[in-house]
Amino acid sequence: MGELYNRMAGDLKLKNYAPGTQKAYLTCATRYARFHVGRSPSVLGEREVRDFLLDLALKQATPAVMKMHLAGLRFLYSTTLRRPEVVVGIPWPKTRRTLPDILSGIEVDQLLSAMEPLKHRAVVMTAYGAGLRISEACSLGTLDIDSKRMLIHVRDGKRGRDRYTVLPVRLLQLLREYFRQTRPARPYLFPGQTAQRPIRPSTVRDALAKAIAKVGLKKRVTPHTLRHAFATHLLETGTDIRVIQALLGHASLQSTTRYTQVSTAHVGRVTSPLDVLGTPKGQLLR
């Protein structure tokens, strides 16, 4: 794409998109340009965009991949080329909504106990105990732990938002033990191979996979599963959903209400109308 690639990269930086999103959008635009080899995207139109996306669909690309490519092309045409009419009529792929596997409290405790070494256990316990995304847990600074107010300061979260979340007593105790043993150099609480970079999320994922195998869990578990478990367990123990929204850093309550669909405790407390037939309460069913 040459000059157009550089323009798009500059626009993404100016709009302060996350580094991962910048890379993904540029990759999608590059694939689009290669599909129409010899022709610049600046002279292509809606038909060419549709042909590219249809080719992806014929190659059985997942809905998530389709959405990412369309999002990248929408940015290219709407922002960089200032031709939004090219992509405005192309519909978003319909995605299947699935519910995540939710770990019980016992399962979470088993996983945490099986995590090795101590640094990896501390990262995973932080992700669950404070409801953090794995990238947020890995990039915490030593000054982000406020033991006086029992808060964790999450900086530059999703979409660049800062927030505060809870610092559990049990987590603080583990972090103090971890700090005594490792003495992590600033700025990061969980440094990687060098003090200037945080531990990589992939490193934590690998350690979590080993703990899952050790415990023998059959559920599909990722670091994000622990964030789901945090929200669901709070809901099941009576925490207001708007408080959960703030702790998770959700911009929309709709994102948080998803956990009402996976809370088995809430479902289990529902009385089926079958069980009220023939009872005084059943008189209401007229």
Q: Which of 133, 178, 228, 233 is catalytic?
A: 133
Q: Which of 74, 120, 121, 250 is catalytic?
A: 250
The yes-or-no answer on residue 224 being catalytic is: yes
Q: Which of 32, 128, 188, 259 is catalytic?
A: 259
- Token readout for 251 is 């911009």
Listed residue (258, 269, 236) closest to 103, CA to CA: 236
The yes-or-no answer on residue 69 being catalytic is: no
Q: Which of 31, 83, 158, 200 is catalytic?
A: 158
How many angstroms separate the Cα of 137 from the Cα of each of 127, 144, 170, 224, 256?
6, 11, 16, 11, 20
How far is residue 272's CA from residue 244's CA, in Å, rounded to a whole number? Answer: 28
Please, are residues 164 and 153 in contact by the beta-carbon 8 Å criterion? yes
- Token readout for 196 is 């200037």
How many angstroms separate the Cα of 160 from the Cα of each of 43, 49, 61, 249?
34, 30, 29, 11
Listed residue (57, 24, 51, 26) closest to 36, CA to CA: 51
How far is residue 110's CA from residue 103's CA, in Å, rounded to a whole number? Answer: 10
Q: Which of 170, 186, 210, 224 is catalytic?
A: 224
Could you count the other beta carbons within 10 Å of the beta carbon of residue 242? 11
Written as one letter, the residue type at 216 is: G
223 preceded by a cis bond (ω within 30 of 0): no
Please, are residues 83 and 213 in contact by the beta-carbon 8 Å criterion? no
The backbone torsions φ and ψ at residue 198, rounded to the nearest 5 degrees and listed phi first, read: -75, 165
The yes-or-no answer on residue 210 being catalytic is: no
The yes-or-no answer on residue 133 being catalytic is: yes
Listed residue (219, 285, 229) closest to 262, CA to CA: 229
Q: Which of the residues are catalytic?
A: 133, 158, 224, 227, 250, 259
